[in-house]
Structure 1
Amino acid sequence: MHGIVAFTSDMNELAGWLRTSFPGIYIVSIEIGNDFDDSFLWSLDKQVEHFCTRIRNDIHLQQARFHQLVTKYAYEKFIQDRISIANYWHNPTQLNKYISQCHFLPDINNERETHNKIYCTNMLKLNAFVITYLDLDEIIVPKQSG
Structure 2
Amino acid sequence: MRRTISIKLLLLVCFYFSLGINGLISKQNEPIPVVMFHGMGDTAYGSIIVIKKVLESEIPNIYVTSIRNGNNVEEDFISGFIGNLNDQVSSACEIIRNDPKLQSGYNSIGFSQGGQILRAIAQRCPNPPMRNLISLGGQHQGVYGLPHCFGDTNQTNYLCNLVRQYIRLGAYTPAIQNMVVQAEFWHDPLKEKEYQANSIFLADINNERQPRNQSYKDNLLQLKNLVLVKFTKETIVEPKESEWFEFYKPGQANEIVPLRQSPIYTEDWLGLKQLDQSGRLKLLAIDGDHLRFNMTWFRAQIVKKFLL
Q: If the length of structure 2 is used for normalisation, what is the TM-score?
A: 0.27
Q: Distance in 1 between matches of 2:230 and 2:173?
A: 28
How far apart, in 2, do the equivalents of 1:81 and 1:133 lie?
A: 28
Letter in 2 for 1:88: F
Q: Which 4+ residue blocks in structure 1 deviate beyond 4 angstroms?
A: none
The answer to which structure has the higher strand fraction is 2
Is 1:3 matched up with 2:151? yes
Asked if 1:114 corresponds to 2:262, the answer is no
- Counterpart CA distance in 2 for 1:90 and 1:83 is 14
**3-state SS of 1:130 partner:** strand
Moved more, 68-77 or 107-116: 68-77
Aligned: 1:124 with 2:124: no
Matched, 1:91 2:91: no
Which one has the largest radius of gyration? 2
The 1:129–1:70 alpha-carbon spacing in structure 2 relative to 1, beyond 3 Å, is: same
Unaligned residue ranges in structure 1 (runs of 5+): 19-26, 29-65
What is the percent sequence identity of the aligned residues? 32
Q: How does 1:1-146 map to 2 (within 5 A)?
A: 3=151, 7-8=153-154, 11=155, 15=158, 66=164, 70=167, 73-146=170-243
Matching residue's letter, 1:96: K
**Cα separation, 2, equivalents of 1:86 and 1:144:** 18
Structure 2 distance, partners of 1:128, 1:143, is 21
Once the two structures are superposed, residues 2-26 of structure 1 have per-residue CA deviations (whole angstroms, 9 ceiling, x without a partner) of: 836xx53xx18x84xx7xxxxxxxx
Note the aligned Cα RMSD (angstroms). 3.0
Q: 1:141 offset after TM fit, Å?
A: 2.6
Q: Which structure is higher in RCO with an 8 Å CA cutoff and minimum separation 6?
A: 2
CA contact (8 A) 2:230 2:241 kept: yes
SS in 1 for 2:227: coil
1:77-109 CA-to-partner distances (Å, cap 9, x unmatched) read: 111111111111111111221011101111111
Aligned counterparts of 2:242 and 2:193: Cα–Cα separation in 1: 20
How many residues are treated as equivalent by the alignment? 93
Q: Which amino acid aligns with 1:101?
A: N
Quick one: which amino acid aligns to residue 85 of structure 1?
A: Q
Paired amino acid for 2:191: Q
Segments of structure 2 that go 5 or more residues without pairing to the other structure are 1-148, 244-308
